[in-house]
Amino acid sequence: MTDYRQMWSDLGMDLEKHDQLTGALPLVYETVYLKQPNRPRAMEYFDLVVAEIHSLRIAELVEHRRRGGKVCGAFCVFVPVEIIRAAGAIAVGLCGGSQFWIPDGEKVLPRNLCPLIKASVGARLSGTCPYFQSCDLLIGETTCDGKKKAWEVLNNFAPVYVMDLPQMKRPRDLVAWREEVGLFLDKMEELTGRRVTPERLAEEIQLQNRLRRTLERLYAARKADPVPVSGKDVLLVTQVSFYDDPRRFIEKTEALAAEAEARIAAGEGVFSPGAPRILVTGTPMAIPNWKLHHIIETAGAAVVCEETCTGTRFFEHQVDEAGRTLDEQLQALAERYLKINCSCFTPNPGRIEDILRLVKEYRADGVIYYNLQFCHGYAVEYYAVEKALKERGIPVLKVETDYSEEDTGQLRTRVEAFLEMLR
Ligand code: BJ8
């Protein structure tokens, strides 16, 4: 049997603390995931991924590095992973979703800061996340204020490269972003010592487009009533997509989508027909943040779509594959990524259009607006989202929360009252 403790130790991890972190996960996972009735069989793969979350994939990263390859970690869906991979490196998502990392994050960051940022920095400081420990370079970005200042702190503990993302979407912003994407390619070539050729970049563009289409296919199955797969399960699949091997991920997710489609044909679902259908919108839910979905679905409603960066914002829009030169490909990448409607943009009408469209497509009965505490961009944007939804008679509930369990009872009461109103 592989000695993972030796591997973790070689990665410079704090083994004792790491035991505390991983010791709690099986029970939580069993309660939140394994107890769900009638799960698709294809979810077995994702259960395995979680059970081995700090071992199997990490061993692949270690092996890649042993052969001279590099690993890059990112915190935002704006980072073009196609370029990282075309330069021969592996890309992994690093956003922290666990309360466990918050105290370490608070050692160097203010307490009144978004938990996603505190947990991400805390994961690095605590030496308990083997993904962080495996990274040769961390890729930050200038999205929200909290993140862009946190990179300065994180840079004391690990090398960080920051991509400058515009905050508006005018033609001149696209020009600036295209230039930034080009600089990122230079940085990746410098890191890996390998040239990015148009052929390699084309391959990675096609691969990531396939991955996006696979998630799109799985999401499409959620439009059915009854839904063939729970929102919790789909959330997990999306979370896994950020660090799994992309080819293996596509294969396993295609199998899950096929199973979901067969269930639809047979009229089978995981909730009873007519169960309230909820669209969740707002801030991302990094693994293992399953809190809101668990509350909603144990109250008898189905989460049918997420307008979040661990949802549609991650996979909607393909990169145009027609480009033959690096210049054309970088332009296509810049254009696709700038279509993401994050609240860090002003104005950001595209997000409201997306929410209204998705409510219709997924036949949602109501919207739950998920706001991580101290995320001001999404909190302020609520005004416009609520207005647009109310004008169309679409019920909406705003919840503001963190990663702790302290407010779970209160949240549950509010969600149940909302669902009662929908019924
Ligand atoms: S594109 S949503 S992944 S920035 S929740 S850290 S915004 S204070 S994660 Fe995000 Fe990229 Fe935007 Fe998506 Fe800041 Fe808000 Fe925290 Fe956030």
CATH of the domain at 408: 3.40.50.11900
pLDDT of residue 110: 98
Range 83-97 burial, b when 16+ CB lie within 10 A, else e: bbbbbbbbbbbbbbb
Give the helix ranges, DSSP H, for 246-290: 246-265
Count Cα atoms within 13 angstroms, Cβ side, for 126. Answer: 28
- Checking if the pLDDT of 4 tops 80, the result is yes
The verdict on residue 111 lying in a domain is no
- Binding site membership of 338 for ligand 1 (Cβ less than 6 Å): no
On the question of pLDDT at 80 being above 60, the answer is yes
CA 324 – ligand 1 centroid, Å = 33
Which of the listed residues 114, 285, 370, 374 should we mutate to test ligand 1's pocket, taking the one with most ligand atoms within 8 A of CB? 114
* Ligand 1 site, residue 94, Cβ cutoff 6 A: no
Q: What are the pLDDT digits (tens) for 171-213?
A: 999 999 999 999 999 999 999 999 999 999 999 999 999 999 9
419 near 299, Cβ under 8 Å? yes
Residue 2 pLDDT exceeds 90: no
114 ligand 1 Cβ < 6 A? yes
- Cα–Cα dist 110/308, whole Å: 25
Q: What is the pLDDT of residues 365-378, one digit of tens each?
A: 999 999 999 999 99
The Cα 3–Cα 119 span in angstroms is 27
Residues 6 or more apart whose Cβ sits within 8 Å of residue 369: 281, 282, 378, 382, 385, 386, 396, 397, 398, 399
Q: Which atom of ligand 1 is nearest to the CA of 343?
A: 12
Q: Is the CB of 140 under 6 A from ligand 1?
A: no
Supply the residue whose CA is at minimum distance from atom 8 of ligand 1: 375
Split into its structural domains, the chain has a count of 1
Give the distance (Å) from ligand 1 centre to CA of residue 145.
10
pLDDT bin (cut points 50, 70, 90) of residue 144 is very high
Report yes or no on 56 lying in a domain: no
Cis peptide leading into 110, omega within 30 of 0? no
Residue 98 CA to its chain's centroid (Å): 14
Residue 374: which domain range? 203-318+342-422
pTM, to two decimals: 0.97
Residue of 94, 375, 381, 400 to mutate, ligand 1, most atoms within 8 A of C-beta: 375
**375 CB under 6 A from ligand 1?**
yes
Average pLDDT over residues 69-84: 98
Q: What angle do helix axes 115-126 and 145-154 make, rounded to 10 degrees?
A: 10
Residue identified by tokens 């030169």 is 325
For residues 97-114, give the mean pLDDT.
Answer: 97
Beta bridge mates, 37: none
Is the Cα dihedral 19, 20, 25, 31 positive or negative?
positive
Residue 3: which pLDDT band, with cuts at 50, 70 and 90? confident
Whole-number Å distance, alpha carbon 116 to ligand 1 midpoint, is 8
Average pLDDT of the chain is: 97
Residue 220 lies in a domain: yes
Contact 233, 297 (CB under 8 A): no
pLDDT at 398 over 70: yes
* Atom 9 of ligand 1, residue of closest alpha carbon: 284
Ligand 1 pocket, mutate which of 164, 372, 378 (most atoms under 8 A from CB): 372
The verdict on residue 257 lying in a domain is: yes
The number of residues making up the chain comes to 423
Q: What separation, in Å, do the N-terminal and C-terminal C-alpha atoms of the chain show? A: 52
Instruction: State if residue 76 touches ligand 1 by the CB under 6 angstroms criterion.
Output: yes
For residue 80 and ligand 1, the question of a CB distance below 6 A is answered with no
